[in-house]
Amino acid sequence: MARHRHNIGFMALDVIARRHGFSPWRQRFKGLVAEGMIGAQKIFALKPMTYMNASGESVQAAAAFFKIPPAEITVFHDELDLAPGKVRVKRGGGAAGHNGLRSMDQMLGTPDYWRVRMGIGHPGDKARVLGYVLGDFAKADMEWLLPCLDAVADEAPILASGGAENFMTRIALLTKDGPK
Protein backbone atom coordinates (compact mmCIF):
# COMPACT_ATOMS: atom_id res chain seq x y z
CA MET A 1 0.00 0.00 0.00
CA ALA A 2 2.81 2.48 0.78
CA ARG A 3 4.03 2.45 -2.84
CA HIS A 4 0.58 2.81 -4.46
CA ARG A 5 0.24 5.62 -6.97
CA HIS A 6 -2.65 6.89 -4.85
CA ASN A 7 -0.15 7.49 -2.02
CA ILE A 8 2.14 9.91 -3.86
CA GLY A 9 0.87 12.72 -1.61
CA PHE A 10 1.85 10.78 1.53
CA MET A 11 5.21 10.01 -0.06
CA ALA A 12 5.76 13.73 -0.67
CA LEU A 13 4.87 14.54 2.96
CA ASP A 14 7.31 11.90 4.21
CA VAL A 15 10.17 13.42 2.21
CA ILE A 16 9.21 16.98 3.26
CA ALA A 17 9.04 15.96 6.94
CA ARG A 18 12.45 14.23 6.78
CA ARG A 19 14.13 17.00 4.81
CA HIS A 20 12.88 19.76 7.10
CA GLY A 21 13.37 17.97 10.44
CA PHE A 22 9.74 17.58 11.47
CA SER A 23 8.75 15.82 14.67
CA PRO A 24 8.11 12.07 14.49
CA TRP A 25 4.67 11.09 13.15
CA ARG A 26 2.12 10.49 15.89
CA GLN A 27 -1.50 9.36 15.85
CA ARG A 28 -4.06 12.16 16.10
CA PHE A 29 -7.23 13.22 14.29
CA LYS A 30 -7.79 9.80 12.69
CA GLY A 31 -4.40 10.16 11.05
CA LEU A 32 -0.69 10.69 11.52
CA VAL A 33 0.58 14.18 12.34
CA ALA A 34 4.09 15.63 12.25
CA GLU A 35 5.00 19.24 12.82
CA GLY A 36 7.92 21.44 11.97
CA MET A 37 9.10 24.63 10.41
CA ILE A 38 9.51 25.31 6.72
CA GLY A 39 11.18 28.66 6.39
CA ALA A 40 9.37 30.96 8.81
CA GLN A 41 6.12 28.94 8.64
CA LYS A 42 4.99 26.47 11.29
CA ILE A 43 3.59 23.48 9.41
CA PHE A 44 1.34 20.66 10.56
CA ALA A 45 1.57 17.70 8.18
CA LEU A 46 -1.34 15.26 8.27
CA LYS A 47 -1.72 11.86 6.65
CA PRO A 48 -5.36 10.75 7.13
CA MET A 49 -5.58 7.07 8.05
CA THR A 50 -9.28 6.82 7.24
CA TYR A 51 -10.49 5.33 4.01
CA MET A 52 -9.77 7.73 1.15
CA ASN A 53 -13.45 8.61 0.76
CA ALA A 54 -13.55 9.71 4.43
CA SER A 55 -10.23 11.60 4.61
CA GLY A 56 -12.09 14.88 5.08
CA GLU A 57 -13.00 13.73 8.61
CA SER A 58 -9.33 13.72 9.58
CA VAL A 59 -8.56 17.02 7.85
CA GLN A 60 -11.60 18.77 9.35
CA ALA A 61 -10.75 17.57 12.89
CA ALA A 62 -7.14 18.79 12.63
CA ALA A 63 -8.17 22.09 11.02
CA ALA A 64 -10.73 22.74 13.76
CA PHE A 65 -8.29 21.89 16.56
CA PHE A 66 -5.47 24.06 15.19
CA LYS A 67 -7.92 26.76 13.95
CA ILE A 68 -6.62 26.54 10.38
CA PRO A 69 -8.99 28.04 7.78
CA PRO A 70 -9.42 26.08 4.53
CA ALA A 71 -7.55 28.77 2.56
CA GLU A 72 -4.40 27.89 4.57
CA ILE A 73 -4.61 24.13 3.94
CA THR A 74 -2.49 22.54 1.23
CA VAL A 75 -3.30 19.03 0.01
CA PHE A 76 -0.77 16.89 -1.87
CA HIS A 77 -2.54 14.33 -4.07
CA ASP A 78 -2.23 12.09 -7.10
CA GLU A 79 -3.47 13.42 -10.43
CA LEU A 80 -4.36 11.09 -13.30
CA ASP A 81 -4.72 13.95 -15.75
CA LEU A 82 -1.09 15.06 -15.43
CA ALA A 83 1.86 13.26 -16.95
CA PRO A 84 4.09 11.42 -14.48
CA GLY A 85 6.32 13.86 -12.62
CA LYS A 86 4.42 17.02 -13.52
CA VAL A 87 3.39 19.09 -10.52
CA ARG A 88 0.75 21.79 -10.61
CA VAL A 89 -0.61 23.92 -7.80
CA LYS A 90 -4.02 25.54 -7.73
CA ARG A 91 -6.50 26.86 -5.24
CA GLY A 92 -10.01 25.45 -5.16
CA GLY A 93 -11.74 23.65 -7.98
CA GLY A 94 -13.75 20.50 -8.35
CA ALA A 95 -12.91 17.08 -7.02
CA ALA A 96 -12.57 15.63 -10.56
CA GLY A 97 -13.57 12.17 -9.35
CA HIS A 98 -11.02 12.15 -6.50
CA ASN A 99 -12.89 10.78 -3.49
CA GLY A 100 -10.44 12.24 -0.98
CA LEU A 101 -10.96 15.75 -2.35
CA ARG A 102 -14.73 15.22 -2.45
CA SER A 103 -14.66 14.22 1.23
CA MET A 104 -12.60 17.27 2.14
CA ASP A 105 -14.97 19.57 0.23
CA GLN A 106 -17.91 18.12 2.17
CA MET A 107 -16.26 18.24 5.60
CA LEU A 108 -14.67 21.68 5.22
CA GLY A 109 -17.75 23.12 3.55
CA THR A 110 -15.67 24.62 0.74
CA PRO A 111 -13.16 23.61 -1.93
CA ASP A 112 -11.12 26.77 -1.16
CA TYR A 113 -7.87 25.05 -0.17
CA TRP A 114 -4.59 24.67 -2.05
CA ARG A 115 -3.95 21.54 -4.08
CA VAL A 116 -0.55 20.26 -5.11
CA ARG A 117 -1.53 18.00 -7.99
CA MET A 118 1.17 15.38 -8.52
CA GLY A 119 1.00 13.70 -11.91
CA ILE A 120 0.93 9.92 -12.04
CA GLY A 121 -0.28 9.64 -15.64
CA HIS A 122 -3.28 7.78 -16.98
CA PRO A 123 -3.35 4.10 -17.96
CA GLY A 124 -5.06 5.03 -21.24
CA ASP A 125 -8.30 3.14 -20.67
CA LYS A 126 -10.94 4.29 -18.18
CA ALA A 127 -11.67 0.66 -17.26
CA ARG A 128 -8.07 0.27 -16.00
CA VAL A 129 -7.99 3.39 -13.80
CA LEU A 130 -8.83 1.74 -10.45
CA GLY A 131 -6.18 -0.98 -10.73
CA TYR A 132 -3.64 1.53 -12.01
CA VAL A 133 -4.18 4.06 -9.21
CA LEU A 134 -4.17 1.38 -6.52
CA GLY A 135 -1.18 -0.38 -8.07
CA ASP A 136 2.40 0.10 -6.98
CA PHE A 137 4.81 2.33 -8.83
CA ALA A 138 6.98 0.27 -11.17
CA LYS A 139 10.76 0.16 -10.77
CA ALA A 140 11.06 2.28 -13.96
CA ASP A 141 8.87 4.97 -12.32
CA MET A 142 11.62 5.62 -9.77
CA GLU A 143 13.56 7.51 -12.48
CA TRP A 144 11.01 10.34 -12.35
CA LEU A 145 9.35 9.75 -8.96
CA LEU A 146 12.37 10.14 -6.69
CA PRO A 147 13.63 13.36 -8.35
CA CYS A 148 10.08 14.73 -8.23
CA LEU A 149 9.68 13.99 -4.50
CA ASP A 150 13.13 15.47 -3.78
CA ALA A 151 12.32 18.62 -5.74
CA VAL A 152 8.98 19.04 -3.94
CA ALA A 153 10.74 18.76 -0.56
CA ASP A 154 13.62 21.04 -1.58
CA GLU A 155 11.29 23.74 -2.86
CA ALA A 156 8.71 23.45 -0.05
CA PRO A 157 9.86 26.77 1.50
CA ILE A 158 8.73 28.59 -1.66
CA LEU A 159 5.31 26.94 -1.45
CA ALA A 160 5.01 27.60 2.30
CA SER A 161 5.69 31.29 1.75
CA GLY A 162 2.86 31.56 -0.79
CA GLY A 163 4.88 31.28 -3.99
CA ALA A 164 2.84 28.67 -5.86
CA GLU A 165 3.92 29.86 -9.33
CA ASN A 166 7.61 29.95 -8.39
CA PHE A 167 7.26 26.53 -6.74
CA MET A 168 5.88 25.01 -9.95
CA THR A 169 8.60 26.67 -12.04
CA ARG A 170 11.36 25.36 -9.75
CA ILE A 171 9.91 21.81 -9.78
CA ALA A 172 9.73 21.86 -13.58
CA LEU A 173 13.33 23.06 -13.84
CA LEU A 174 14.66 20.56 -11.32
CA THR A 175 12.86 17.58 -12.83
CA LYS A 176 12.81 18.67 -16.46
CA ASP A 177 9.01 18.33 -15.88
CA GLY A 178 8.75 14.56 -15.78
CA PRO A 179 10.14 11.44 -17.41
CA LYS A 180 11.97 11.49 -20.71
What is the DSSP-derived secondary structure letter of residue 178? S
Contact between 164 and 173 (Cβ < 8 Å): no
The CA–CA distances, whole Å, from 7 to 115, 140, 173 equal: 15, 17, 24
Run of H or E residues at 146: helix 142-154
6 catalytic? Reply is: yes
Of the candidates 6, 20, 77, 98, the residue annotated as catalytic is 6
Contact between 77 and 111 (Cβ < 8 Å): no
CB atoms < 10 A from the CB of 106, how many? 16
Please give the order of strands across the beta sheet that includes 31-38.
26-28, 31-38, 41-48
Task: Write the burial class of residue 77 (CB in 10 Å: 0-12 exposed, 13-18 middle, 19+ buried).
Answer: buried
In angstroms, rounded to a whole number, what is the distance separating the alpha carbons of residues 31 and 39? 25
Active site residues: 6
